[in-house]
């Protein structure tokens, strides 16, 4: 049964891809920002710096979340990601993130996932979990707060989840810690790999220069060649060297829902100054997928698009 279901997923994705070539460009990913709440105040977090300026409510209700999940599923999305804030802190009327994950699975989403700082429960029901790791202990804590690294690694040691990956945002604060972080992740039996991104400002003072970005990409490409578990594809890594993706970004691949139910067909930062300094690796992978890159389709699908749980 599992093999047949996976075959069905592959067939669906193939149909979505060929429809897109005919001009029928429906979103495949539903990214839901379910709350702005977080118990950390990371140096590079624009939400933490501007939370009071963000439109309310700062948390979506359970019923509204279900309605948006169903609406986007009916439009064709099959990958569901929950973001924040810190999504593991989300709750409404006795419901928590696990309830949303389970509801998404029952609706028929092929893959559910979420991004977390790793200080709370790891929900085993999720197909994939992205844990934010910005460096080795000292560097990570300098960005996120004292004791955060040890609590995160303690929680990781307790989970049996089989598809957790590290998500690193490279900036001035951790520029010299990239190699050590990649090698640290490679030694952790609970983490399957690491995804490298650059900071998308603000804050602009933490953003890297083009020369610093090239230094990082050359390093990461070398580490990937040496067999370290870097999840970015080689083409996407090189794509990170081009900052302004406003003309290249395949906005249509991911829909976004905000806590106040504002919806975006594509990145909420589109057509802003931040868009011209984009550091998100996913944007590069999405474009490569839309162009039919077999390397990207193969590497990304087995990790983020095909449910094995």
Higher pLDDT, 78 or 270: 78
State what percent of residues in the chain have pLDDT above 70. 97
Higher pLDDT, 270 or 136: 136
User: What does the pLDDT read at residue 5?
Assistant: 60
Question: In this structure, is residue 309 part of a structural domain?
Answer: no
Q: What is the rounded radius of gyration, in angstroms, for the C-alpha atoms of the chain?
A: 18
Question: Within 10 A of 76 (CB to CB), how many other CB atoms are there?
Answer: 16
User: What does the pLDDT read at residue 271?
Assistant: 80
Question: In this structure, is residue 85 part of a structural domain?
Answer: yes
Of 128-137, 156-165, 193-202, 293-302, the poorest mean pLDDT is in 293-302
61-64-66-69 Cα dihedral, nearest 10 degrees:
-120
If you average pLDDT over residues 225-254, what whole number do you get? 94
Say whether pLDDT at 144 is over 70: yes
Question: In this structure, is residue 118 part of a structural domain?
Answer: yes
Say whether pLDDT at 2 is over 60: no
Count of structural domains within the chain:
1
The answer to whether the CB of 256 falls within 8 A of the CB of 264 is yes
CATH number, domain with residue 148: 3.20.20.70
Higher pLDDT, 90 or 247: 90
Of 113-127, 234-248, 256-270, the poorest mean pLDDT is in 256-270
3-state secondary structure of 216: helix
Question: In this structure, is residue 84 part of a structural domain?
Answer: yes
Q: Using the 8-state DSSP alphabet, how is residue 13 labeled?
A: H
- Name the pairing type of β-strands 263-265 and 254-257: antiparallel
Say whether pLDDT at 74 is over 50: yes
Domain coverage including residue 184:
2-304
Task: Write out pLDDT tens, residues 42-62.
Answer: 999 988 767 777 889 999 999
Burial class (CB in 10 A: 0-12, 13-18, 19+), 74: exposed
How many angstroms separate the CA atoms of 228 and 225, rounded? 7
């Amino acid at each position: 049964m599992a093999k047949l279901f996976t075959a069905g997923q592959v067939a669906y994705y193939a149909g979505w891809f060929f429809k897109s070539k005919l001009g029928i460009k429906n979103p495949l990913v539903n990214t839901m920002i379910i709350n702005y709440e977080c118990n950390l105040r990371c140096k590079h977090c624009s939400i933490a710096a501007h939370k009071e300026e963000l439109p309310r409510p700062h948390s979506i209700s359970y019923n509204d979340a279900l309605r948006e999940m169903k609406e986007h599923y009916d439009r064709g999305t099959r990958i569901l990601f929950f973001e924040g804030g810190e999504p593991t802190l989300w709750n409404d009327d006795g419901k928590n993130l696990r309830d949303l994950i389970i509801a998404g699975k029952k609706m028929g989403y092929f893959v559910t996932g979420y991004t977390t700082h790793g200080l709370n429960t790891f929900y085993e029901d999720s197909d994939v979990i992205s844990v934010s790791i910005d460096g080795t202990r000292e560097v990570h804590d300098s960005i996120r707060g004292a004791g955060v690294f040890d609590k995160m690694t303690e929680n990781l040691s307790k989970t049996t989840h089989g598809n957790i990956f590290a998500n690193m945002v490279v900036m001035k604060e951790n520029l010299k810690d990239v190699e050590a972080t990649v090698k640290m992740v490679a030694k952790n039996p609970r983490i399957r790999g690491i995804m490298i991104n650059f900071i998308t400002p603000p804050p602009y003072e933490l953003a890297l220069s083009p020369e610093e970005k090239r230094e990082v990409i050359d390093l990461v490409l070398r580490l990937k060649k040496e067999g370290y578990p870097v999840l970015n594809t080689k083409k996407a890594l090189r794509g990170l060297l081009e900052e302004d993706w406003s003309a290249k970004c395949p906005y249509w691949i991911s829909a976004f829902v905000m806590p106040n139910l504002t919806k975006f067909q594509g990145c909420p930062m589109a057509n802003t100054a931040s868009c011209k300094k984009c550091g998100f690796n996913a944007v590069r992978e999405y474009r490569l997928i839309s162009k039919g890159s077999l390397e990207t389709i193969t590497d990304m699908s087995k990790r983020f698009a095909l449910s094995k749980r």
